[in-house]
Amino acid sequence: MSRPTLRQLFYACLILGLVAISGASMAQTESATSLREAREAAEARDQQRLVGFLDDQQALESALEQARTEHEEAQQQHEALEIQQAEQTDQARELSERQAEQGEALTGLLSNLARHSSEIRNALGDESLLSLEEGTLPPRLDEVEVLERHQLEEVVDRLAALTARTGLAERLSLPVADANGEVTTRELVRLGDFAAFTENELLERGENDGNLVVLPRTPDVVGGLLADYYQGESHVFAVDPTQGSVLEALAQQPSLWERFQQGGYVGYVVVALGILGLIIGLGQYLYLVLVSLRVNRQRQSLNQLKPNNPLGRVLLRFEGMDKHQTPEALEARLDEAVLAELPKLERSQPMVKLLAAIAPLLGLLGTVTGMIVTFQAITVFGTGDPQLMAGGISQALVTTVLGLITAVPLLFVQTALSGRSRYLTHVIEGQASATLADHLESHTPAVN
């Protein structure tokens, strides 16, 4: 097959160019046709609309009136904008001239006033007791460009009023939120920026809206002074110089009942066992006191034996014995009668002693469980927040204290029971021995 010549290649390129030009011409023709059709359709719609207006003279007049109204409104708006632009231009020129007249000294004064005013407002805004009323804080001057005389006077007057109010004791009527969130207007006393209180409750600024709220718990140290100071009967009041930190710490101190609840279930068990031991011990001690009174009365009247006391029962049993037995047998029978009375005199002592020994062990158990909870909190949350560990440590310490508090009185009760029963035992044994000796002496023949 022969290779194409240069002329053949030229003719081929020419043919391809003509084909491309014809395609572009056709595309342009089609585009022109579509544009012409769209223009003809728009003209037809306008023509139809114009015909409609011509047919309906009233619609044509309404359209013209609406167009005139819109034109007038646009013209008025344009004139208003031109007037506003002229006023702003004059105002900007006037401000520039006045600022230039003030010079650098007043400009620096305005900057310092704006900075200090903002700092005071940020510091006293929703936390200080001095800003309870409206209009007590100095105005903000951040957006002021030219310092006016009345602005300077207002800042100075409000700062002076705030300074003077720090040393005043004022009686006010302001909205106060109670523990349930109910807001009512109440009469209160404000001591500068240190304290605000009603007749029986301390107040503080709320965290959300900045209004006054009742302190969750008024410390007993301060609560005793509130009523007298509020009624004007005393001039003594406890002021927290830390502005709430000491009062908050005092208010967070738990009461005796809350401290008891911190012991958890182990603490409940320890206290329950302690109460049970005290009830048992006190009941037995009252019984021993009653027995002691009866025994003392019996010792004073040995010729009238009564069975309502251990000594009377022992002596009655001795009288019913066979007296012809040997002295050793009589002594043994008498000891048996005395020993029969000992269980009633010594009952409840083992139980009280056992409870006194168990209470510290249960306290130690609560300590161990509390430390386990503490270490679990450390494992999960780390040591960054001490409050997470406070619950376990509190339980650990409180249960130990409860165990010791329970054991100490139980030991005293057990000692008192043991001493009282021992005393009665010695009295009974001594009187029984004396009775046996008198009997033996009266039945022993005299030696010449």
Question: Side chain identity at 402, as an amino acid letter?
Answer: L
Q: Output the CA torsion 185→191→193→195 (10° steps).
A: -70
pLDDT at position 105: 61
pLDDT at position 282: 92
Query: Are 331 and 246 found together in one domain?
Result: no
Contact call for residues 403 and 366 (beta carbons, < 8 A)? yes
Domain closes at, from 113, 146, 165: 165
Query: Are 301 and 392 found together in one domain?
Result: yes
Query: Are 192 and 273 found together in one domain?
Result: no
CB burial of residue 362 (10 Å; 0-12, 13-18, 19+): buried
pLDDT at position 286: 92
Task: Write out the two tokens for 412.
Answer: 């005293």
Query: Are 284 and 315 found together in one domain?
Result: yes
Contact call for residues 395 and 377 (beta carbons, < 8 A)? no
pLDDT at position 19: 46
The rounded distance, in Å, linking the Cα atoms of 170 and 172 is 6
pLDDT at position 387: 64
Containing structural domain, residue 121 = 60-165
Query: Are 248 and 276 found together in one domain?
Result: no
Longest dimension (CA), the chain: 188
The rounded distance, in Å, linking the Cα atoms of 426 and 424 is 5
The rounded distance, in Å, linking the Cα atoms of 145 and 393 is 59
Query: Are 349 and 422 found together in one domain?
Result: yes
Query: Are 206 and 317 found together in one domain?
Result: no
Number of other CB atoms surrounding residue 321 within 10 Å? 14
pLDDT at position 3: 45
pLDDT at position 102: 55
Question: Side chain identity at 319, as an amino acid letter?
Answer: E
Rg (CA), the chain: 53
In the beta sheet, which residues pair with residue 169? 191
Query: Are 364 and 306 found together in one domain?
Result: yes
Query: Are 79 and 152 found together in one domain?
Result: yes
For the stretch 360-374, pLDDT in tens is 898 888 888 878 777
The tens-digit pLDDT sequence of the chain (448 residues) is: 444 454 554 445 445 454 445 554 455 555 556 777 877 887 777 677 666 656 666 666 777 778 788 888 888 888 888 888 888 888 777 766 665 555 556 667 777 777 877 877 777 777 777 777 777 777 777 776 666 777 777 888 888 888 888 888 888 888 888 777 788 888 888 887 777 778 777 777 777 666 788 777 777 667 777 777 777 777 777 777 766 666 666 666 666 676 777 777 888 888 899 999 999 999 999 998 998 888 888 888 878 878 888 877 888 887 777 666 777 777 788 778 888 888 888 888 889 999 999 988 988 888 888 787 777 777 777 666 666 666 667 767 888 888 898 999 999 999 999 898 888 888 888 887 887 777 777 766 544 4
Task: Write out the two tokens for 275.
Answer: 């109460």
Query: Are 269 and 129 found together in one domain?
Result: no
Q: At what angle do helices 387-442 and 264-300 cross, to 10 degrees?
A: 20
pLDDT at position 279: 93
Domain closes at, from 252, 282, 314: 252
The rounded distance, in Å, linking the Cα atoms of 392 and 373 is 5
Number of domains in the chain: 3
pLDDT at position 276: 92
Query: Does residue 25 form part of some domain?
Result: no
Contact call for residues 211 and 127 (beta carbons, < 8 A)? no
The rounded distance, in Å, linking the Cα atoms of 314 and 436 is 11
Domain closes at, from 232, 252, 272: 252
Query: Are 159 and 175 found together in one domain?
Result: no
For the stretch 145-197, pLDDT in tens is 666 777 777 888 888 888 888 888 888 888 888 777 788 888 888 887 777 77
Query: Does residue 48 form part of some domain?
Result: no
**3-class SS letters over 95-162:** HHHHHHHHHHHHHHHHHHHHHHHHHHHHHHCCCCHHHCCCCCCCCCCCCCCCCCHHHHHHHHHHHHHH
